[in-house]
């Protein structure tokens, strides 16, 4: 088995490790191993191969990893009840200061509380600002 084969096998192992984890660190080492494999295939000595590996890994950590992290950090899409946050609702039962009331949202009735200094009367339009279990926290729109 030639030296570049060993570099390639190690690169594949790093890629498999990256698939099983997250953070894009192991893929940087895989890029370094690919650089080492290219150096070995070109006939470089072991010292040069290690130097190429170190340089490629460092450059990968500085350039590739931030790019991959930026591409993978898309805003998560709110689902289920979390999708209600930011939506508007209509008060169906007065929400008294320090108490609970009810709001209608998409045909469903929800218990609601508010941090407003005054009561929110029936018929007012409110915005959902948070959710705790089945209770929505709302504010005047």
**What pLDDT is recorded for position 73?**
67
Q: How confident is the model at residue 88 (pLDDT cuts 50, 70, 90)?
A: very high
Number of structural domains the chain divides into = 2
What domain range is 135 assigned to? Answer: 80-140
Tell me which of 72, 88, 119 is where a domain ends: 72
**61-66 average pLDDT score:** 86
Binned at pLDDT 50, 70 and 90, residue 74 comes out as low
Closest Cα to residue 81, out of 100, 102, 106, 99? Answer: 106
Mean pLDDT of 74-86: 74
Indicate whether 66 and 19 sit together in one domain: yes
Per-residue pLDDT, 141: 84
What is the band of 23 on the pLDDT scale with cuts at 50, 70, 90?
confident
Same domain, 84 and 130: yes
Domain boundary among 18, 47, 72: 72
| DSSP bridge pairs for 93 | 102
Last residue of a domain, one of 23, 53, 72: 72
């Amino acid at each position: 088995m030639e030296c570049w084969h060993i570099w390639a096998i190690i690169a594949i192992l790093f890629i498999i490790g990256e698939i099983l984890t997250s953070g894009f660190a192991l893929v940087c080492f895989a890029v370094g191993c690919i650089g080492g494999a290219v150096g070995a295939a070109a006939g470089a000595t072991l010292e040069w191969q290690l130097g190429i590996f170190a340089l490629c890994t460092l450059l990968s950590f500085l350039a590739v990893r931030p790019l991959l992290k930026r591409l993978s950090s898309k805003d998560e899409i709110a689902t289920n009840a979390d999708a209600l946050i930011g939506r508007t609702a209509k008060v169906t039962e007065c929400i008294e200061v320090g108490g609970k009331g009810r709001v209608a949202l998409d045909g469903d009735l929800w218990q609601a509380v508010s941090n407003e200094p005054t009561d929110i009367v029936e018929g007012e339009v409110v915005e959902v600002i948070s959710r705790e279990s089945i209770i929505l926290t709302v504010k005047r729109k």
